[in-house]
Amino acid sequence: MTAPAKPLSEFTPPSRIGFIGLGNMGAPMAALLHDAGYALVVADADAGAVSRFAERVACDQPGSLSELGKHCQAVITMLPGGEAVREVLMGDGGVAAGLQPGAVVIDMSSSSPVGTRELATDLAGRHIELVDAPVSGGVRRAVDGTLAIMAGGDPAVIERVRRLLEVMGKVFPTGVPGSGHAMKALNNYLSAGTLTLTAEAILAGTRFGLDARTMVDILNVSTGRSNSTEYKYPTFVLPRRFDSGFAMGLLAKDLRLAVEVAGATGSPSALLRELSGVWDAAEARMGSAADHTEVVIYLESLLEERT
Ligand code: NAD
């Protein structure tokens, strides 16, 4: 009889995990890892974010990023984007300076797919593995541990970290390094698209005399339905709450990354480029920190200017 195959997943509780970026998404994701039995070493450029997290979740706070690297064989980044990830890892006294050969970095931020390919090569030069593992599902599913996780990189390395990732959601291996980040940017193209299309349709409809709630109800049993009509409009837009926890600047960045993917592959992208321009203009007017659902307010403001 052959011996049962050894599970490949190495990072099982109570291994020590570095977690950098304790914002709207990172804080609930890291809290789930703690609840699953992992030992956390955390960092964030905002000292307030670290202290708010440490008040409710047991964790170590290293004196420096390289010290965090020294204590962890797996490090997760959940930062605004690839530039911050590169700075945290490769900057002077960054995480990579402390990591041992064979360590794994998992970038769960929505970063540049092209930048991720370069980062994977730079880290490989230090015998450090990189998995790009961005997520979809928003704050609600970050809290529930039901995120969609799009994991690019060496399949054997993804298996090494699978158990860790599965605490936060469902893992979908996507292929070459950067492919997770490409998938995420393209998903958010569709997501921003349906929100913008829904907003334009509802603005036009209400000016024609339709009721916004009636429109959403009809869309949700018709072919125009989407996550924007089923979830974002009823939850954040119609009650005028605009508090999804996903900033407008982050979604505008994701669209620029989708344009980057289209450009790198020579793909048709007329609608994508137009949409990205709308979101850049919305960000310029509303501010990067506005909620992304406030794109509706931006479009309403265009209407007011014209009337
Ligand atoms: P956030 O702005 O709430 O959190 C980012 C955190 O990173 C902040 O606490 C900030 O202080 C910290 N930070 C920034 N630069 C840093 C640096 N150089 N060093 C250390 N810490 C630094 O953002 P978020 O909403 O949690 O999103 C994080 C990532 O996840 C982004 O890439 C975003 O596009 C993506 N994302 C967000 C959502 C969502 O619904 N919010 C959903 C899916 C994916």
What would the pLDDT profile of 88-100 be if each residue is shown by its tens digit? Answer: 999 999 999 999 9
Q: Which of 19, 20, 22, 24 to mutate to test the pocket of ligand 1 (most atoms within 8 A of CB)?
A: 24
Residues 30/19, Cβ–Cβ less than 8 Å: yes
- The encoded tokens of residue 238 equal 């119609």
User: Are residues 217 and 96 located together in one domain of the fold?
Assistant: no
C-alpha 125/C-alpha 49 separation (Å) is 32
Residue 1 has pLDDT above 60, yes or no: no
Partners of 76 in beta bridges: 19, 106
What is the total count of domains within the chain? Answer: 2
Residues 198/233, Cβ–Cβ less than 8 Å: yes
Residue 307 has pLDDT above 80, yes or no: no
C-alpha 208/C-alpha 175 separation (Å) is 47
The closest-lying atom of ligand 1 relative to the alpha carbon of residue 23 is 4
Rg (CA), the chain: 21
| Structure confidence at residue 305 (pLDDT) | 85
Number of H helices, E strands in the chain: 14, 8
Residue 5 has pLDDT above 70, yes or no: no
The closest-lying atom of ligand 1 relative to the alpha carbon of residue 26 is 26
User: Are residues 206 and 133 located together in one domain of the fold?
Assistant: no
User: Are residues 132 and 23 located together in one domain of the fold?
Assistant: yes
- The encoded tokens of residue 59 equal 């964790």
Q: What is the pLDDT of residues 106-148, one digit of tens each?
A: 999 999 999 999 999 999 999 999 999 999 999 999 999 999 9
Residue 216 has pLDDT above 90, yes or no: yes
At 220, is the pLDDT very low, low, confident or very high (cuts 50, 70, 90)? very high
Mind giving me the DSSP string for 210-272? --HHHHHHHHTTSTT--HIIIIIIIIIITTT----S-BHHHHHHHHHHHHHHHHHHT---HHH
* Residue numbers annotated as active site: 184
CATH number of the domain at 31, please.
3.40.50.720
Q: Once rounded to an integer, what is the mean pLDDT over residues 180-188?
A: 98
Within a domain: 138: yes
Within a domain: 2: no
Q: What is the pLDDT of residues 38-76, one digit of tens each?
A: 999 999 999 999 999 999 999 999 999 999 999 999 999
- Burial degree of 299 (CB within 10 A; 0-12, 13-18, 19+): middle
Is the pTM here over 0.75, yes or no?
A: yes
Residue 247 has pLDDT above 90, yes or no: yes
User: Are residues 171 and 278 located together in one domain of the fold?
Assistant: no
The closest-lying atom of ligand 1 relative to the alpha carbon of residue 254 is 34
User: Are residues 155 and 224 located together in one domain of the fold?
Assistant: no
At 306, is the pLDDT very low, low, confident or very high (cuts 50, 70, 90)? confident
24 C-alpha to ligand 1 centroid (Å): 7
At 283, is the pLDDT very low, low, confident or very high (cuts 50, 70, 90)? very high
Q: Once rounded to an integer, what is the mean pLDDT over residues 195-204?
A: 98
Residue 30 has pLDDT above 60, yes or no: yes
User: Are residues 111 and 202 located together in one domain of the fold?
Assistant: no
For residue 246 and ligand 1, the question of a CB distance below 6 A is answered with yes
| Structure confidence at residue 2 (pLDDT) | 54
Q: Which of 146, 176, 206 is the last residue of a domain?
A: 176
At 224, is the pLDDT very low, low, confident or very high (cuts 50, 70, 90)? very high
User: Are residues 165 and 289 located together in one domain of the fold?
Assistant: no
At 79, is the pLDDT very low, low, confident or very high (cuts 50, 70, 90)? very high
Within a domain: 159: yes
Q: Once rounded to an integer, what is the mean pLDDT over residues 255-274?
A: 97
Within a domain: 1: no
Residue 11 has pLDDT above 60, yes or no: yes
For residue 30 and ligand 1, the question of a CB distance below 6 A is answered with no
Q: Provide the residue range defining the domain that includes 260.
A: 182-306
User: Are residues 215 and 152 located together in one domain of the fold?
Assistant: no
| Structure confidence at residue 159 (pLDDT) | 96
Question: What number of residues does the chain have?
Answer: 307
Of the chain, the end-to-end C-alpha distance in Å amounts to 80
Which residue's alpha carbon is at the smallest distance from atom 31 of ligand 1?
80
| Structure confidence at residue 8 (pLDDT) | 64
273 C-alpha to ligand 1 centroid (Å): 24
Within a domain: 31: yes
Mean pLDDT rounded to a whole number for the chain: 96
User: Are residues 112 and 191 located together in one domain of the fold?
Assistant: no
Q: Which of 156, 176, 196 is the last residue of a domain?
A: 176
For residue 226 and ligand 1, the question of a CB distance below 6 A is answered with no
| Residue 289 DSSP code | T
192 C-alpha to ligand 1 centroid (Å): 18
Within a domain: 141: yes
User: Are residues 145 and 201 located together in one domain of the fold?
Assistant: no
Q: Which of 147, 176, 205 is the last residue of a domain?
A: 176
User: Are residues 137 and 196 located together in one domain of the fold?
Assistant: no
- Cα dihedral 153/159/161/166 (nearest 10): 110
Within a domain: 208: yes
| Structure confidence at residue 304 (pLDDT) | 84
For residue 139 and ligand 1, the question of a CB distance below 6 A is answered with yes
C-alpha 183/C-alpha 258 separation (Å) is 9
User: Are residues 161 and 226 located together in one domain of the fold?
Assistant: no
Query: Alpha carbon of 146 to those of 20, 73, 137, 222, 301: distances in Å?
Result: 20, 25, 8, 27, 36
